[in-house]
Amino acid sequence: MNRLAVVALSALLSTPSIALGQSCSGNPVTVQILGSGGPAINPTRASSSYLLWVGSQAKMLIDMGGGAFLRFGQSQAKQSDLSLMAVSHLHPDHISDLPAFLWLSNQNRKDALPIVGPTGTNDVPAFQTFLERLFDSKTGAFQVLGTTLGGPPVAGAGGGVRLEVSTVDTSKTEPSTVFDRDGLVVTAMGIPHGPIPALAFRVQTRGVSVVFSTDQNGTHPKFIEFAKGANVLVMHLAIGAGARNPIHAAPSVVGRIAQEAGVGRLVLSHIGAFDLDAAIAELKQNYTGPLTIGADLQCTPVQ
Ligand SMILES: [Zn+2]
Ligand SMILES: [Zn+2]
């Protein structure tokens, strides 16, 4: 090894271990952002993912975009504590870290993991089909994860925890209850996101409610009712001031929805590469309530 390499190696070895992220476990109910970015490559924001903490346990995981696997580790959440994983839609920036998350998960958790996702359309497979294409023990891309769908373990391979899969019809016009266990009541509703409908989730626990709107264009007439009075509403600020897009709501529309829903706090996430100050200024023309601009690993107590 030459001298330069020795210097480089010793510098690496003396680097203090990477700090664990902020734990959100100190409040009755907390929203933690694991990924506050969207699909674009970003030096500080992972793609979309959230945790809902109840006391000292992360009980619900919403989405698993690229980078969320690392953020989950930094959050110090435990796979064994999760009551539910909710998947909003099948764009890669919301689901691409799922195989990494499940691989060897059976070493951390014995109980099946309830997981809910959307039905399909011509443009996207149904959630069950998506999972089979990934994990089927004979035809899947990750045959070693066949145990997640009830397949036999592969000799010498690690496998993953069994999934308890359910789907929500995104074309239904009324919200559906998708989970009512462990002190969590979760309802879901389809929202328009271009050709790929997505699911928004509303969670009620310990007397408070949180709504996770994923990507949407803001045109669903009933979404405001769905989000009405939530203590915290997480919305996606995917496009900048003055931009218009059939898939994503403009900042002014995000502001109007939060205002009309009368939420206790608006948390902005899925933040793209645009002039954020200008986007917030446009949003604030329609929204006057408490506002949090999301960041990875940030904790927002729900009260
Ligand atoms: Zn997205
Ligand atoms: Zn999307």
Whether residue 8 is predicted with pLDDT greater than 90 in this model: the reply is no
Residue 263 has pLDDT above 80, yes or no: yes
Decide if 20 contacts 77 (C-beta within 8 A): no
With 50 as the cut, is the pLDDT of residue 18 above it? Answer: no
CA of 197 to the centre of ligand 2 (A): 9
Sorting pLDDT into bands at 50, 70 and 90, what band is 133?
Answer: very high
pTM: 0.93
Minimum mean pLDDT range among 149-158, 167-176, 230-239:
149-158
CA of 66 to the centre of ligand 2 (A): 13
Cα 45 to middle of ligand 2, angstroms? 16
Instruction: Provide the residue ranges of all domains of the chain, joining segments of one domain with +.
Output: 25-294
pLDDT value of residue 21: 57
Q: Is the pLDDT of residue 103 over 70?
A: yes
| 295/22 Cα distance (integer angstroms) | 12
pLDDT at 53 over 90: yes
Task: Find the ligand nearest to 48 CA.
Answer: 1
Q: What confidence category does residue 1 fall into, taking pLDDT thresholds of 50, 70 and 90?
A: very low
The pLDDT of 234-254, averaged and rounded, is: 97
> From ligand 1's centre to the CA of 248, what distance in Å?
9
pLDDT digits (tens, 9 = 90+) for 63-82: 999 999 999 999 999 999 99
Q: Which of 132, 136, 161 is nearest to 151 (CA)?
A: 136
pLDDT over 60 at 5, yes or no: no
The enclosing H or E element of 180 equals strand 176-181
Check pLDDT > 60 for residue 197: yes
Collapse the DSSP code of 136 into the 3-class scheme (helix H, G, I; strand E, B; otherwise coil) and give the result: coil
Q: Report how far residue 146's alpha carbon sits from residue 137's, in angstroms, rounded to the nearest whole number.
A: 4
**Dihedral sign of CA atoms 197, 290, 256, 254 in order:** negative
The predicted pLDDT at position 250 comes to 98
CA distance 88 to 8: 43
pLDDT of the residue at 12: 42
pLDDT at 83 over 90: yes
Cα of 92 from ligand 2 centre, angstroms? 8
Report the distance separating Cα 52 and Cα 33, nearest Å. 9
List C-alpha distances in Å: 80 to 135, 272, 284, 289: 21, 32, 40, 36
Q: How far is CA 231 from CA 168, 225, 265, in A?
A: 24, 14, 6
Q: Which residues contact 285 (CB under 8 A, 6 or more apart)?
A: 252, 255
User: Which candidate, 29, 39, 31, places its Cα nearest to that of 62?
Assistant: 31
Q: Calculate how far, in angstroms, residue 89's C-alpha sits from the geometric centre of ligand 2.
A: 7
Ion ligand 1 residue ranges (Cβ < 5 Å): 38, 93, 215
Of 29-33, 53-57, 171-175, the range with the lowest mean pLDDT is: 171-175
Mention the CATH class of domain 25-294.
Answer: alpha beta
* Token output for 264: 């206790």
Residue 23 binned pLDDT confidence (cut-offs 50, 70, 90): confident
Beta bridge pairs of residue 209: 204
pLDDT of the residue at 171: 93
User: How far away, in angstroms, is 5 Cα from ligand 2 center?
Assistant: 44
